[in-house]
Amino acid sequence: MSLDTATVYIVDDDASVREAMGWLLRTRRLLAEGFGSAEAFQAAVGASVPDHPACVLLDVRMPGMSGLALFDELLASGTAQLWPVIFLSGHADVPTAVDAVKRGAFDFCEKPFSDNALVDRVEQALALSRERIAALQERRALGQRIDELTERERDVMQAVVRGLPNKLIADELGISVRTVEVHRSRVFEKMAVKSAVELANLLQKRE
């Protein structure tokens, strides 16, 4: 699924709320999917690391697993960082929702909520999700490129990033300058960079 395809997951035990919110989001050309319980959402989404942008509109109070309990699980798995959570709360649950925001939820909306304000926050949450998933995919791709390097190419790469010239790298690794040049060239090719500075900047993204 591409980064252009984003989903808003509505997790609320009130069917009328799910239907109304789904309709509202569709009027803004947003894809929405509703779940009547935290358990139903878990069963559909699973425990895999998200690979597409999304946000979760989550009711605080629900029969069975509460919205807060589901949020704790999403936090523990790292999903809440990639799929921002917006809590839907009644007036009595506002302090609880505020606490959830302090622990990592994106925001909360008190029922009854302003349609425009809610959709604006959803769009901001989806934008954040796209940004974080793109960064994750970039780190994964970088990791795969590094994995394709030989052990000697990694040694040369680390020395290049430290700013060592070829002669010093050759002395440090006990190989010829010509061999260093060959390894250096292969590293640049495999990592798709043209300079040591570009290579160093690329590796910083993995941190």
Long-range CB pairs of 131-136 (<8 Å, 24+ gap) are 132/81, 132/82, 133/3, 133/50, 133/51, 133/52, 133/53, 133/82, 134/3, 135/205, 136/49, 136/82
pLDDT at 113: 79
Please write down the HEC assignment for all residues of the chain: CCCCCCEEEEECCCHHHHHHHHHHHHHCCCEEEEECCHHHHHHHHCCCCCCCCEEEEEECCCCCCCHHHHHHHHHHHCHHHHCCEEEEECHHHHHHHHHHHHCCCCEEEECCCCHHHHHHHHHHHHHHHHHHHHHHHHHHHHHHHHHCCCHHHHHHHHHHHCCCCHHHHHHHHCCCHHHHHHHHHHHHHHHCCCCHHHHHHHHHCCC
Banded model confidence at residue 67, pLDDT cuts 50, 70, 90: very high
What is the spatial distance between Cα 137 and Cα 79, in angstroms, rounded to a whole number?
A: 14
pLDDT at 111: 80
pLDDT at 20: 92
Convert the pLDDT of each residue in 127-148 to its tens digit.
Answer: 999 999 998 888 888 999 999 9
Banded model confidence at residue 1, pLDDT cuts 50, 70, 90: very low
Say yes or no to pLDDT of 95 above 60.
yes
Say yes or no to pLDDT of 184 above 70.
yes
Average pLDDT, the chain: 90
pLDDT at 48: 65
Window from 65-74, 87-96, 148-157 with minimum mean pLDDT: 87-96
pLDDT at 3: 55
Domains in the chain, CATH or no CATH each? 7-137 (3.40.50.2300), 148-204 (1.10.10.10)
Convert the pLDDT of each residue in 5-63 to its tens digit.
Answer: 799 999 999 999 999 999 999 999 999 999 999 999 999 987 666 788 999 999 998 99
* pLDDT > 90 fraction of the chain, expressed in percent and rounded: 66
pLDDT at 49: 66
Window from 20-29, 109-118, 191-200 with minimum mean pLDDT: 109-118
pLDDT at 109: 87
- pTM of structure: 0.77
